[in-house]
């Protein structure tokens, strides 16, 4: 059976990947929806036309990863698309953010993504697409978002290296690096604070980011960056010393509370 496997499918980019795949990829026979929130997954599954398999697991735990492993071994699917969308962030200094959240971001954004990637590799074939959700935060260190940005730098580096390791197999790996996206991500990250003005200015629609990611993935691009502003930012981080960018960012952020 040809399947799409999506982590973090209960909301945001993960849910939108499910909708886009359901609508545009007739070759996919079943979509595996993976996340903690069962009711959200069930609601999404009812919305989709394709058959869905719901796996309500917490990927930040060994039990959650084991559940995915066992299901893969039992079904032995032909994974045509795997979208690793599970992840979260918290805004604030490392000192102010709780121990649980500082380590939790690393556990979910890095460890769980690596584990799922390792588990799905035997079930990918020529033509399969592995989508790894990174972030524009991966492009340079970000004070007040330090752990999240570092975790996404890991995702970007890991994905690009894996792409090279799989060269010649026909398996494509694309790291998706969006800027701010209109999802509930910032409700969790900012905890009710006002989103800083320049993030609101460049906020992208979830549907557009996902469509671009799948388009770039099919083309075999290593990195998918949506929008003129984020592409310019990506180029800027390659041309301008990081400390200079960080100093400008400090000025932009100084009045934000």
> In the chain, what are the domain boundaries?
2-253
For the whole model, what pTM was predicted?
0.89
The class level of CATH for 2-253 reads alpha beta
> Helices 99-106 and 146-165 sit at what angle, rounded to 10 degrees?
10
For residues 82 and 130, is the Cβ–Cβ distance under 8 A? Answer: yes
Identify the pLDDT of residue 257: 46
Residues 119, 197: Cα–Cα separation, whole Å:
40
The secondary structure of the chain in percent helix, strand, coil, rounded to multiples of 5, reads 50, 15, 30
Residues 35, 54: Cα–Cα separation, whole Å:
8
State the virtual CA torsion across 164, 59, 52, 211 in degrees, nearest 10: -50
Residues 25, 48: Cα–Cα separation, whole Å:
12
Number of residues assigned to the chain: 257
Residues 169, 194: Cα–Cα separation, whole Å:
46
Identify the pLDDT of residue 159: 98
How would DSSP label each residue in 46-78? HH-SSEEEEEE--TTSHHHHHHHHHHHHHH--E
Residues 247, 56: Cα–Cα separation, whole Å:
43
Identify the pLDDT of residue 184: 63
Each residue's pLDDT, cut to its tens digit, for the chain (257 residues) gives 899 999 999 999 999 999 999 999 999 999 999 999 999 999 999 999 999 999 999 999 999 999 999 999 999 999 999 999 999 999 999 999 999 999 999 999 999 999 999 999 999 999 999 999 999 999 999 989 999 999 999 999 999 999 999 999 999 999 999 988 876 655 554 565 555 645 566 678 999 999 999 999 999 999 999 989 889 989 999 998 888 888 877 776 665 54
Identify the pLDDT of residue 248: 79
Q: Which residues are catalytic?
A: 148
Per-residue DSSP letter, 219? T
Identify the pLDDT of residue 244: 85
For residues 91 and 257, is the Cβ–Cβ distance under 8 A? Answer: no
What 3-state class would DSSP assign to 76? coil
């Amino acid at each position: 059976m040809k399947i799409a496997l999506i982590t973090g499918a209960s909301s945001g980019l993960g849910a939108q990947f499910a909708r886009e795949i359901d609508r545009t990829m007739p070759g996919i026979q079943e979509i595996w929806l993976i996340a903690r929130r069962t009711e959200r997954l069930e609601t999404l599954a009812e919305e989709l036309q394709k058959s869905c398999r719901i796996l309500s697991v917490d990927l930040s735990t060994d039990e959650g990863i084991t559940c995915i492993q066992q299901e893969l071994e039992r079904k032995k699917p032909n994974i045509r698309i795997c979208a690793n969308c599970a992840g979260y962030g918290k805004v604030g200094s490392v000192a102010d953010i709780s121990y649980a959240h500082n380590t939790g971001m690393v556990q979910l954004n890095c460890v769980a993504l690596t584990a799922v990637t390792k588990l799905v590799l035997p079930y990918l074939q020529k033509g399969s697409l592995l989508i790894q959700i990174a972030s524009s935060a991966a492009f340079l260190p970000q004070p007040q978002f330090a752990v999240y940005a570092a975790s996404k730098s890991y995702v970007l580096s890991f994905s690009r290296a894996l792409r090279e390791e799989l060269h010649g197999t026909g398996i494509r790996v694309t790291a998706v690096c969006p800027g701010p996206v209109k999802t509930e991500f910032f409700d969790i990250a900012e905890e009710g604070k006002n989103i800083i003005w320049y993030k609101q200015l460049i906020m992208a629609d979830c549907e557009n980011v996902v469509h671009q990611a799948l388009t770039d993935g099919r083309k075999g691009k290593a990195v998918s960056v949506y929008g003129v502003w984020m592409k310019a930012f990506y180029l800027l981080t390659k041309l301008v010393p990081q400390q200079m960018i960080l100093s400008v960012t400090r000025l932009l952020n100084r009045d934000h509370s």
